[in-house]
Chain A
Amino acid sequence: MKPTTQPNIRIDVADGVSIPDPKDKSLINAWSISFTGAVAILIALCVFRPDPYLEILKFLPDGLLVTFEITILCMLCTIPIGLLAGLGRISRNRFINLLCSTYVEVIRGIPLLVQLFYIYFALGTFIQMPPTLSAVIAISFCYGAYMGEVVRAGILAVPVGQTEAARSLGFTGAQTMRYVVLPQALRTILPPVGNEFIAMLKDTSLVSIIAVADLLRRGREFASQTFDYFETYTVVALVYLIITLLLSKGVSIMEGKLHYYERPSK
């Protein structure tokens, strides 16, 4: 994801499934093939070999709920953290700017799994925390840093004329941010934010290592009881894939709706 040294070449690498282009109306694309394929395979497996596939599928919902729960909690924490980090990174106050930049730099340099271990095991020697809480803290601070970069880029992408127009009407800097800049930044950052959330959902699978009973952990439990490793992890993978594909579609639909005002003049 490092920018290349060559000018005029932009490399877009998303670390999740890609957000479908809302303007792409064709029926056959990577999204539809993956989605129908995953659903069809899952249904076929459950119909033709209910034992063990249907059993596995029935065993997983508890874990799926935990995965969703952690993802949603992390989203709720990541949004304010990312907003503050992003605003801090463009702040003209040197102290705030340095603080936020350092936070982003430090977090980005440490693997999420290590951060998770650090909060659960290392800090756990001082303050005991339930594993779910540790997981939410680790993931939120990690993704908050990434989100901060997205927010920063989104704000900087709003033309400076917008700020000048608002300031010339008499709005303060904060009011300008709130009423004029952020609403526009939100629209440009929605796809990357969606991507971050989808990546986050996938990364919640790391919490299975610290004994949080998420989707992956439930799969592991089932497999270790029945020794159906191949079958279990096939289902787990398909379920993750279906969820992330559905989410990316959701983001795409929302994106299409938010850009309604950009209809070109005739």
Chain B
Amino acid sequence: MNAQASSPIISIAGVWKFFGSLTALRDINLDIQQGERVVIIGPSGSGKSTMLRSINSLETIDRGRIVVDGKDLHDPANNINVIRQELGMVFQSFNLFPHKTVLENLTLAPIKLRGLSKAEAEDRARGLLAKVGLSSKTGAYPAMLSGGQQQRVAIARALAMQPKIMLFDEPTSALDPEMIGEVLDVMVTLAKEGMTMVVVTHEMSFAREVSDRVVFMDHGEILEVAPPETLFSTAKHPRLQQFLKQIL
């Protein structure tokens, strides 16, 4: 990356998170530059989701500081709802609004939060649905779509807010194998367009193909951060070697 000189768009510094006696995040430090694609890997329960979710304050941290787009999440002067508008999030379980059509899922937030007119929001939504290959599903309800289609709508819904950063928490883990490709394709396209992306995934092909850096977490700690070629070929940490052996 050549953006190292400028200030990071996401800065995580000395972050700790506890669930009761369990330490979910242990002194996490990570800076992410604008336009960077970061993939987070690690065994189950290692704190990947907790870290991702603390970036948009779905999880509140106990110690440390997270600054997104120049705004400290924990500064009471900053409105978290406004910061979140710049942080699109895609969940493992899609979480589309079942009582709204596909189009309405995409237009709700832009109309209510960005102040777009219905026509503007629908225009934007149609464009995004075309981009994720679902133009024909505009009027469908989420329950009528396959998992892969739902996840593509979920990505489009997040993009409809025109966020600066996209967070993905295992976006393909709940999908049947034959549907993983269609979702990854959308994500690859997004990455190639220069979107800043933080992706928790077990899809190593995606990590190899598009990520700038791969972060390996275990037991709430970041153990290694490196470009994919380096990390996959010359894993230093024994726990990373073991993890890669299991997954590859």
Contact = CB atoms under 8 A, between A and B. Distances in A.
Interface stretch (B35-43, B92-100, B202-210): B92-100
A188 to B, nearest CB: 11
A264 B140 CA distance: 12
Interface string B90-128: 010101111100000000110011000000000000000
Contacts of A162: 95, 97
Given A162-B95, A168-B56, A265 B112 contact: no
B91 A161 contact: yes
Contact of B143 (A161, A164, A263): A263
Contacts of B93: 161
Given A168-B87, A170-B113, A171-B81, A184 B98 contact: yes
B141 A263 contact: yes
B187 interface: no
Interface string B76-98: 00000110110111010101111
Contacts of B142: 261
Given A170-B161, A171-B109, A265 B81 contact: no
B98 A165 contact: no
B158 interface: yes
Interface residues of A, number: 25
Contacts of B98: 184, 261-262
Contacts of A263: 141, 143-144
Contacts of B143: 261-265
A68 interface: no
Contacts of B158: 168-169
A187 interface: yes
A179 interface: yes
B230 interface: no
Interface string A131-170: 0000000000000000000000000000101101111111
B186 to A, nearest CB: 18
Interface residues of B, number: 30
Nearest to B97: A180
A102 interface: no
B146 interface: yes
B58 A164 contact: yes
A40 to B, nearest CB: 41
B145 interface: yes
A190 to B, nearest CB: 13
Contacts of A167: 58, 81, 84
Nearest to A175: B112
B84 A183 contact: no
Contacts of B145: 265
B49 to A, nearest CB: 11
Contacts of B81: 167, 170-172
Given A179-B112, A262-B143, A263-B141, A168 B58 contact: yes
Contacts of A264: 143
Nearest to B113: A170
Contacts of A159: 95
Interface in A237-266: 260-266
A147 to B, nearest CB: 21
A166 B113 CA distance: 11
B58 A161 contact: no
Given A162-B95, A169-B158, 20 more contacts: A164-B89, A164-B95, A165-B89, A165-B96, A165-B97, A165-B154, A167-B84, A168-B58, A168-B84, A168-B88, A168-B89, A169-B109, A170-B161, A180-B97, A260-B141, A261-B98, A264-B143, A265-B143, A265-B146, A266-B144
5 contacts: A170-B109, A170-B161, A180-B97, A261-B142, A264-B143
Interface of A: 159, 161-162, 164-172, 175, 179-180, 183-184, 187, 260-266
